[in-house]
Amino acid sequence: MSLRDQIRKGSTETLIMSLLSEEPMYGYQLSQELARRSDGYFAMQEGLLYPTLHRMQQDGLVTSEWRQAQGARRRKYYSLTAKGREQLGEQSAEWETFMQALRALLAGGELSAGAETAE
Amino acid sequence: MSPHHLTIDDVLAQIRAELRLSSATERELLEEIRAHLEDAVEDARAAGLDEQSALRQAAQAVGLREVGRELQAVHAPWESADAVIACALPVLCALVLRWLIFAPDGAALNWAQLLARPAFWIVAVAALLVPLLRFQRWRYALAGWSVFWMITVIFVIFPVVSQW
């Protein structure tokens, strides 16, 4: 598995929760937004988004409901739950710490005190 | 992919081939993938592809059998747990009613006594509604409720503990 695939796999849930924290979205919309906002970096096999979403629903991180706007097809919209928001906050902080540490290491410096205490 | 005229139903059939879930769950999963494919085809056609090329591209992006296998893996353990809980709950209700609430000393209990008690009906209705509302699978709920009544009938026909 390439480094990009490993990063993508480890961050998929965080990315999905981040998008859903803005507004409820359906699967196709999520896949398009993930690809668009990351300029294709986080484009994933679209079908695999659904097992991830369903697993997250079983874990109580998201809820879903079928909606049909006038003249549009019926779609299943996912929304972030309170538990999901909490988890998004924790994971975002963790990623922030990770990125700070990685940047510091790659630049040959040391981890700042703020990043150390964020954990 | 075969060169014949491909339809969304063909694509969904390949995903369905990997699923062994309840018909209600499969229907919902496939409806969601269908909406995804329709959106993807619409966008690809707007970008200039013909219908067949658009559908083949959408099908490839979704992943077909791989997504079917992943969905099966996500939902199968969940469904099994649902079935066990939905069936065990009414049995537990019947046992608690008989041995802990109505006649903990093991005394006989007849139909008239049993059916006259509001507590029996509250538990009987709960034994049907809880699995139905919690799991939204009416087959599990009805199967569990049938077991509840079977056990209740057995308790009334053989009311005395010494007969067990």
Per-residue model confidence as pLDDT tens digits over A67-115: 987 777 899 999 999 999 999 999 999 988 988 888 888 887 665 555 5
Write out chain B residues lying below 8 Å of A55, CB-based: 74
For residue A31, the model assigns a pLDDT of 92
**Inter-chain residue contact A51 with B78, CB threshold 8 Å:** no
Distance, CA of B87 to CA of B73 (rounded, Å): 22
Contacts of B66 in chain A (CB under 8 A): 45, 47-48
CB A57 within 8 A of CB A76: no
Q: What does each C-alpha distance from B68 to A30, A50, A53 come to in angstroms?
A: 19, 10, 14
Which whole-number Å values give the CA distances from B132 to A38, A90, A105, B20, in the listed order?
A: 43, 35, 55, 21
Q: What pLDDT does A119 receive?
A: 46
Find which of A33, A54, A62 to mutate to test the B interface (most B CBs within 10 Å of its CB).
A54
- Edge-to-edge, what's the strand order for the sheet holding A25-26? A25-26, A75-80, A62-67
Mean predicted confidence (pLDDT) in B133-157: 77
Q: What is the pLDDT of residue B134?
A: 67
pLDDT of residue B158: 77
Helix segments in B3-64, DSSP class H: 8-16, 23-46, 51-62
The residue of chain A with its CA nearest to that of B30 is: A50
Query: Which residues of chain A from 6 to 65 reach within 8 Å of chain B, CB to CB?
Result: 26-28, 31, 45-48, 50-51, 54-55, 58
Rounded to two decimals, what is the model's pTM? 0.66
Per-residue confidence (pLDDT) for residue B82, from 0 to 100: 67
Strand, coil or helix: A44: coil
Model confidence pLDDT, tens digit, residues B44-81? 999 999 999 999 999 988 887 788 888 988 888 766 66
Question: How large is the ipTM?
Answer: 0.80
User: In the predicted model, what is the mean pLDDT of residues A8-30?
Assistant: 90
Q: Which residue has the higher pLDDT, B117 or A115?
A: B117
Q: How far is A44 from chain B (nearest CA, A)?
A: 9
Tell me what the mean pLDDT of segment B124-141 comes to. 75
Give the model's confidence band at B137: pLDDT under 50 very low, under 70 low, under 90 confident, else very high. Answer: low
Asked if A26's CB is within 8 angstroms of B74's CB, the reply is no
Q: Which of A44, A6, A7, A4 is nearest to A27 (CA)?
A: A44
* Residue B31: strand, helix, or coil: helix
Whether B97 and B123 have beta carbons less than 8 Å apart is answered as yes
pLDDT of residue B1: 47
- Work out the angle at residue B27's Cα, subtended by the Cα atoms of residues B23 and B31, and round it to the nearest 5 degrees: 175
* Orientation angle between helical segments B138-157 and B65-95, nearest 10 degrees: 20
Residue A17 in contact with residue A91, Cβ under 8 Å? yes
CA distance A55 to A62: 9
β-bridge partners, A75: A67
User: Is the pLDDT assigned to residue B29 strictly greater than 50?
Assistant: yes
Distance in Å, alpha carbon of B28 to nearest chain A alpha carbon = 9
* Share above pLDDT 70 across residues of chain A, in percent, rounded to a whole number: 90
Percent of chain B with pLDDT over 70: 84
pLDDT value at residue B136: 56
Most confident listed range (A29-43, B34-48, B115-129): B34-48
d(CA B14, CA B65): 6
Pairwise CA distance, residues A74 & A40, whole Å: 27
Nearest CA distance, A29 vs chain B (angstrom): 9
Residues on chain B bordering chain A, Cβ-to-Cβ distance under 8 angstroms: 15, 29, 31-33, 35-36, 38-40, 61-64, 66-67, 70-71, 73-75, 78
Alpha helices by DSSP H, A38-112: 49-58, 82-106
Q: What is the pLDDT of residue B161?
A: 58
Residue A118: predicted pLDDT: 47
pLDDT of residue B80: 66
Mutant choice from A9, A30, A31, A46 vs B, greatest count of B C-beta within 10 A:
A46
Chain segment B6-25, per-residue pLDDT in tens:
899 999 999 999 888 888 88
